[in-house]
Structure 1
Amino acid sequence: MRQDVDVVARAGLDLETFLGEALDSIRRAVPWESACVATHDPGTHLLTSGRKYGAIEGQDQYDHEFALIEYGEVEATAFSELVRTGTDAASVHLVHDGEVERSGRMERFMVPHFGVRDEARLAFRDGRELWGAAALFRGADDRPFDADEVDFLASLAGPLARGVRAGVLTRVADVVAPQPGFGPAVIIVGPDDRATQMTPTAEQWLGELVGSPTHPDPVSPVAALIGAARRYARGEIDSPPRCRLRTAGGMWLVLQAGPLSRFRDRDGDVVVTIEEARPPEIVALVVAAFGLTPRERDVTQMVLQGIDTKEIARALHLSAYTVQDHLKSVFDKAGVRSRRELIARVYFDQYVPRMGGELAPSGWFA
């Protein structure tokens, strides 16, 4: 089964196909009743999309509540904690010595809503970067996940991260649909964590996310930002939360959230902003998806700046032959044959067709 996952991770499949194939393989070795799989922004570890399988497929009515709990509270098996502690896999039953009710997520959410007995979590980690994660559930009549199963799941962290990275790259040349009209895209969220106001452009962007097969419920990424913004307001995290995600039409967006200061009778509000991602935001994401070594990333960064091989060698204290070796490896991982193709692969269709075009009032391409 591990070999099956590794093969499909290297097959260049789109995200939906890869995740479906991988979960089917995992189920043969580690049986589960239902499962949730998420993708994350590798830079901020925040949720960007979610999918459900098995017994809970199609049950989307609790997604908003889940995201608020997952990203607004601290728990040992939260996805962000798995990354922080360098843990590839864990089960709630084992972490809490069989007392799953000690997990607030299980006691207040998973058990009452879905009647699950145990949850095993697997982080799709590639070093410190989290590309996605899976939660596998067993029902009340099933046995809990055991230590051998958790260790086996942990051994899949790298291949699953590779498959999600490849899935990101399969879409970088998609045709980009026209973006919504001009104007700020802003959502105001009240103390009850529900939207109270939004601009027309924000409503249009959310409509774009609704139609996306990789974002079946656009509320979840927004709710994750709201939950994380609450933690930022309490001083539990150092910076306001943000994430990069893609619409149904292939447009990359940046979503950010932050708490608003108290004003008159308003207290506890959060503002969420949505804007088209600028090249520096997405270049870093695409380059990370290539799975480059630190030195290969250095070389790629200088290639994107138009620096020739001799200058790269001098700046990095390498021989020109070593730089060429790094470039060959970069080309292989990026699926290109030249510097020009590499640059085109990174600065993809979202930007290139509009270079030199009319600018909107925001100062960005119209």
Structure 2
Amino acid sequence: MDYRENAEELAFRTRVREWLLVNAPTNWREEAKTEEQMGALHRRWQRTLYEGGFVGLSWPVEYGGHGLTATYEAILNDELGRADTPRISFHNYLGRAIFTYGSEEQKQRFLPPMLRGDIQWCQGFSEPGAGSDLANLRTSAELKGDRYVVNGQKLWTSGAQHADWCVLLVRTDKDAAKHRGITCLLTSAKAPGITIRPIKISDGAPETCEMFFDDVEVPIDQQIGETGAGWRIAMTVLAFERGPGDIGMIATFQTALRRLEGIAAERGLLQDPETRKAIARVYVIGEALRLNVVEQLSQRNAGKPPGPEGSVARLLLTKAEQAMRTLELELSGAAAFTEPGDTSFASYLRSRTISIFGGTSQIQKNILANQVLGMPR
């Protein structure tokens, strides 16, 4: 299969790269010290990308997108990773839940402001006791007249402290089979009865949150899809979350690996066999990830939506990131713990969480065993 870009795609890559030279924020990590500053930065960056014509590239034109193939989305993410810009919001995969299953009114209401960055979103899926086993969720929604009343708790909700809206999974039928009694709602993250508490992960950053719902009222016109269809909607969201969008992370990974090679060279370690072996191992894992994602991207361009095979990329990403951060920590040595400006230990701790976010590595292996290889449960 020929993975080379055609003339139009190469021209687009050149345009993105030239635009980033002028518009990409510099020193943004130093300028955005607090969570509030980082949240504001992400909103500004989303709007800047939108005004540059680089948001919603593969979305339908009628909902504010550009109607291009997934390749253009991948090229953009690749160049953003190379330029080391702030991440873009969760709109790309959460928005698909709305334009795939939402009503026309919901699409017109939510999708354009989502693309512009006017509203930020979070994903209310996981719960205590229902993270990897998502179908075990217990947050309930009882229909009373023209609105649902929601009670329960969500956990590991990334970015909830900055979000305006939440794509929320709730149980609407306690007697149905656990995969069938789930419904998907769109709720304001600032609705009365919602309490959001940031959680600091191992590196000290409040990356994620817990959310509490106490008699939260959600109008019935903010339900997307049919009642009880929440599981199917969730699988659509997760397939896109775990799939080819990770190509931006690959570029970030490659940039970080080049930086580590430079550090090893400065310290005279490139002639050390063990250091060379460690760098080569990280490179090989990263290259396997890149080729896997390109293959998935090719399948999407051929009309095949992301499926369970996306778990391969997720596993490879975890392995690559953890191997690289272990190498970074080893190169830093004692400075990782004695030098205030050395971030290698924090990066190492953060890499451990990758095997949990978006579904644990064990769950990814179960998905591949059951749904790809056809092995018995």
User: Structure 1-normalised TM-score?
Assistant: 0.29
Structure number having the greater helix percentage: 2
Structure number having the greater strand percentage: 1
User: Structure 2-normalised TM-score?
Assistant: 0.28
